[in-house]
Structure 1
Amino acid sequence: MKVVINNINVSIERDQNLELKKEIIKRGIKEENIERIEYSKRSIDSRKKTEIKFVYNIEVTLKKDVDLSTLTNVNLAKEIIEDTLIGKTGVERVAVIGAGPAGLFAALRLCELGIKPIIYERGEKVDDRDKTIDEFIKFSMLNPNSNIQFGEGGAGTYSDGKLNTRVKSGYMNKVFLELVENGAQEQILWDYKPHVGTDVLKVVVKNLREKIIKMGGEFHFNTLIKDIVILDGVVKGLKIQNLKSQILIEETELFDHVVLGIGHSSRDTYRMLHSKGVFMENKPFAIGARIEHPRVDIDTMQYGKMASHPNLEAATYSLTYNNREEERGVFSFCMCPGGVIVNAASQEGGSLVNGMSYSTRDGRFSNSALVVGVKANEFGDELFSGMEYQDRLEKMTYDEVGNYGALYQNTLDFLKDKKTNRKIESSYEMELKSHDLNSLFPKVIADNMKKAMGYWEKTQRNFISEHANLIGPETRTSAPVKITRNELGESINTKGLYPIGEGAGYAGGIISAAIDGFKIIDLAFATAK
């Protein structure tokens, strides 16, 4: 018998396991009847800085059944029963483009349905990708096909590995269990804000690849999709290019089904799809910069005098500001506690930043994107107007620095329209150049960032200070276009094409992308047994 007990508050100063057991016994369960205690959720209540608490939801497996009416605030655990699905008949050759979270989990689901996918990824395997990125950081020589954006694991591999999402889905549990099975920490199954870290994610994606291969999947890295063969609105195949060949050879592979998990930075692929008549539309996105603090400042902002307590990890935050007059949001995004800022360029002659952290989150600095919402068509009425504006900002940055560096400005100076006339300490390893970001961003972006920062300066201790710096630009928060699909996950005007994940405009992070990959495969290729 398994029961659930929710909302157990335990001071961070106490022995967590001992206090949980005391609470279980207090509810009426005898100690000798406890077989196993499992966390189903843990969060932090830091509203009162002198009494920070962990808040637990737990599941308790009992050796013998009990009468629930004799217990206090204890409920029976729900049993999850999943439908048994098999692949639809007649489905044979399926291509998956992209080996990010959406593509990997779509490929895994195809294998589970008995369909053996062929996966194409323009970037390298994660170990080779690691070396390429290290060389880029040291020598500023960009590989436009294998970098922070492209390669095994997608852009999420070089992030904090955050797994929190606002998406509600029956696939959530399956995604988390797969991650743990393939090397992620068990803690992600119950932590309120689960994260894996770049170092662990690299292991997870390699293990996922090996699992898919053992189940019949086939991977082709360093392989670019140059063209999609469409006849009378129906997918017929792909024209692919091997990027490692001394002589670049293009081949055409025949497919009736193409799962498109290209990622939000695949600008060349967006243009190719548009040229072939695949229906796409503009969507909102966001632009801004990274804000970086000494980690101790953020820890103190969130935990007060308890900031250095050994039971507490590096602190996270999530800030929002709503400009009601413009109906525009300003928000923190992809917060990396104890992390680093990295260059996320994927096109020659353009520079931008992103955030990343490791599983320990023990770096000197903490950073987050600080971005302003951009409405669809705000920078022009053409399909790629938003994408082209991102591109212009990135090129302006590259030209200003003179290489793949970044621009910086202290937060106090930004609020005063004043260039920062001193060097700063930062986790960013490439060149940094002082610049008034008010002159880089359009007025609507700079003004809204100022309004939000002015508000947070009053409400969040340490957030705006001489130690807090903006480093930018951050332009690739999400895809600026959507590859529109129908209720079965298929392109609305191209039969056999299934857009998934962030690049298609239907996800916003590792978990939501993985869920989308699972969901669309089931809609398109599964049937009940």
Structure 2
Amino acid sequence: MKVNISNIIVSINKNQEKEIYKELEKNGISRENIENLKYLKKSIDSRKKNDIKFIYTLEINLKKNINLEKYSKLSLAKEDIYEKRMPLYPKREVAVVGTGPAGLFSALRLAEFGYIPIVFERGEEVDKRNVTTDNFIKSNILNPNSNIQFGEGGAGTYSDGKLNTRIKSEYIEKVFKEFIECGAQEEIFWNYKPHIGTDVLRVVVKNLREKIKSLGGKFYFNSLVEDIEVKNNEIKALKILEVDSQKRYTYDIDKVIFAIGHSSRDTYKTLYSKGVAMENKPFAIGVRIEHLRKDIDKMQYGEAVSNPLLEAATYNMAFNNKKETRGTFSFCMCPGGEIVNASSELGASLVNGMSYSTRSGKFSNSAIVVGISEKDYGDQIFSGMYLQEKLEKKNYEIVGTYGAIYQNVIDFMKHKKTTFEIESSYKMKLFSYNINNFFPDYITRNLQSAFENWSKNNLFISEKVNLIAPETRTSAPVKILRDLKGESISIKGLFPIGEGAGYAGGIMSAAVDGIKIVDLAFSKKIF
């Protein structure tokens, strides 16, 4: 018999294992009746700083059945509904464009069904990509096809590797299991805010690629899809540029999954020019805020901050401007992480955040961004994307290279330029600038209101806190429209998926979308 038990609450000051078994005994589960035990979830309640607690949900295999009706915390465990299916169709090729989580998991699912995924990636495989990215930091020489945005693993490879998601899907457990099988930490399965870390994620991505290849998949790196061939509103071929050799060729294919990520502006324009239906979508723009990690830990944990069971602290901040019906919020919070240059276009510069698996850096950072939509940037297609480009180019021109502008948060609130150098995790050039004069007024005004609202917390807003900008690529600025089968509404055989298509926001939801669309197409016998 397999059961779940939820809401086991244990103080961080007590022996966790001992208290968990006490709670199990209270709910009719003796230690002797346990065949094996697995954590499903571990969260933290830090609302009372003097009494911080962990909250557990467990899955337990029992040797003997028990009466669940007697115990409110117990329920019968659900069986894993995801199962690999044997190939039902003859092997045939389906192309996948992009190797972010959506692309990789769609390729994996195709291979599990017996198809041959032909995967094209404009950037390099992950080890070479890492060398190229490190060289960019040292030399300011950008490779526009292989960088923090492009290359094996997608933009998420240079993030925190966060796996928390708000979506509900039967595929989430499948994604976790694949990550763990490919080298991720087992704790991602049950941690309340699971993350892999940039360092471990690089290994996971490589192993996932090798698994797909072992099932028959083929990978072509440094291979940019420059154009598509369309006939009678059906995709017929991909036009490929080999980035290194500059050779061009045509790859005939009539089923293509596009998992291009949110920064493939050239590909957006190409697809739109060939009749692929798109629309603008809301997104967010703002800054990175950087604190000393110890201050954020103290803010969240109080006097318990030194407890060794506590990880580097995370936070969520939000402010709703009721007059403008507009939100300002934290995004992609990176505890113990660093701020990085996330440029992918020549002469344009922006920032992002990332953490390694240990989250042990001196600083913690997060994006603080303002939600924007067509009412701000206009209703012409790509208007939001052009605003992103404008700000990134403006930043490059101000700094004079691939760097970032900065300002102390108190100076920002006082509308004055910071006159001193700051200590930061950011490794490239920093240039002091009054950020109030950088963004459109509707962004600056809402950042000001949010910081004023949060200023009651003197650990979050203080002279020790700095802003680094701009953060422009929080999500895709457009949505590539698809029907209920996952297919483009205007071009048959083209399947837009993941964050770049506007159907996901982060590693988990993108991976799930990749699996879901393949399953959907398979069930409808489209492939």
Amino acid aligned to 2:97: I
Selected match of 2:279 from 268, 281, 286: 281
Residue ranges of structure 2 left out of the alignment (5+ in a row): none
Rounded to whole Å, the distance in 2 between the matches of 1:263 and 1:466 is 37
Q: What CA distance in whole angstroms lies between the structure 2 residues aligned with 1:81 and 1:520?
A: 17
SS at match of 1:429: coil
| SS of corresponding position for 2:239 | strand
User: 1:7 matched to which residue of 2?
Assistant: 7
CA distance in 2, matches of 1:142, 1:133: 8
Q: Report percent identity of matched pairs.
A: 61
Taking the TM superposition and a 5 Å limit, the aligned residue runs for 1:55-66 are 55-66=55-66
Q: Establish whether residue 518 from structure 1 lines up as the match of residue 515 from structure 2.
A: yes
Deviation of the 1:277 alpha carbon: 1.4
The residue aligned with 2:98 is: 98
Q: For residue 307 of structure 1, give the secondary structure of its aligned residue in structure 2.
A: helix
Q: Which residue of 2 aligns with 1:465?
A: 462
Q: Does the 8 A contact of 1:372 with 1:445 survive in 2?
A: yes
- Deviation of residue 359 (structure 1)? 0.4
Q: Shift in Å at residue 47 of structure 1?
A: 0.4
Q: CA deviation at 1:308?
A: 1.9
Q: In the superposition, relative to structure 1, how do residues 216 and 307 fare at CA in structure 2: closer, same or farther (>3 Å)? A: same
Q: What is residue 312 of structure 2 aligned with on the other side?
A: 314
Q: Please name the residue that 1:347 is paired with.
A: 345
Instruction: State whether structure 2 residue 441 is matched by structure 1 residue 410.
Output: no
**CA distance, structure 2, for counterparts of residue 132 and residue 338 of structure 1:** 24
Scaled by the length of structure 2, the TM-score of the pair is 0.97
Change (3 A) 1:78 1:89: closer
The correspondence for 1:303, drawn from 301, 304, 318, is 301
Following TM superposition, by how much is the alpha carbon of 1:92 offset from its aligned partner in structure 2, in angstroms?
Answer: 2.1
Q: Which residue does the alignment assign to 1:492?
A: 489
The residue identity in structure 2 corresponding to 1:420 is T
Aligned to 1:110: 110
1:81 and 1:147 mapped to 2: Cα distance? Answer: 37
- 2:376 partner SS: coil
The letter of the residue matching 2:391 is: L
Q: 1:432 and 2:401 equivalent? A: no
* Aligned mate of 2:477, from 471, 476, 480: 480
How has the CA–CA distance of structure 1 residues 363 and 442 changed in structure 2, closer, same or farther, with 3 Å as cutoff? same
Aligned with residue 505 of structure 2, among 487, 490, 508: 508
> Is residue 88–residue 525 contact of structure 1 (8 Å, CA) maintained in 2?
no
Conserved 8 A contact 2:476-2:502: yes
Counterpart residue type for residue 295 of structure 1: R
| 1:203-352 pair list within 5 angstroms | 203-245=203-245, 248-352=246-350
| Separation (CA, whole Å) in 2 of partners of 1:264 and 1:186 | 29
Q: Distance in 2 between matches of 1:72 and 1:507?
A: 35
Aligned to 1:382: 380
* Match runs of 1:389-404 below 5 Å: 389-404=387-402
Query: Quick check: 1:41–1:192 contact (8 Å CA) kept in 2?
Result: yes
Q: Secondary structure at the match of 1:372?
A: strand
Task: Out of 46-55 and 369-378, give the one that drifted further.
Answer: 369-378
Size of the aligned set, in residue pairs, is 525
Flag the 1:485–1:43 CA change in 2: closer, same or farther, 3 A: same
Unmatched 5+ residue regions in structure 1?
A: none
The AA in structure 1 aligned to 2:379 is: D
Is the Cα–Cα contact under 8 Å of residues 230 and 274 in structure 2 kept in the other structure?
A: yes
Instruction: Give the Å deviation of 1:104.
Output: 0.1
Aligned to 1:171: 171
Spell out the pairing of 1:443-454 with structure 2 (5 A cutoff).
443-454=441-452
Q: The residue matched to 1:378 in structure 2 has which SS?
A: helix
| Distance in 1 of aligned mates of 2:85 and 2:299 | 49
| One-letter amino acid of the counterpart of residue 376, structure 1 | E
* Residues 70-219 of structure 1 mapped to structure 2, 5 A cutoff: 71=71, 73-82=73-82, 85=85, 89=89, 92-219=92-219
- Post-superposition Cα deviations, 1:231-267, rounded to whole Å, max 9, x if no partner, equal 010000001011111xx11100100101000000001
| Cα distance, 1:79 vs structure 2 | 2.3
AA matched with 2:330: S
Pair 294,83 (structure 1): closer, same or farther in 2 beyond 3 Å: closer
Whole-Å separation in 1 of the counterparts to 2:31 and 2:99? 48
1:27 Cα deviation from its structure 2 partner:
1.8
Separation in 2 of the partners of 1:83 and 1:199? 30
Match of 1:43, SS state, is strand
Contact 2:94 2:253 in 1 (8 A): yes
Q: What pairs with 1:363-382 in structure 2 (closer than 5 Å)?
A: 363-376=361-374, 378-382=376-380
Deviation (angstroms), 1:496: 0.3
Q: CA deviation at 1:69?
A: 4.4
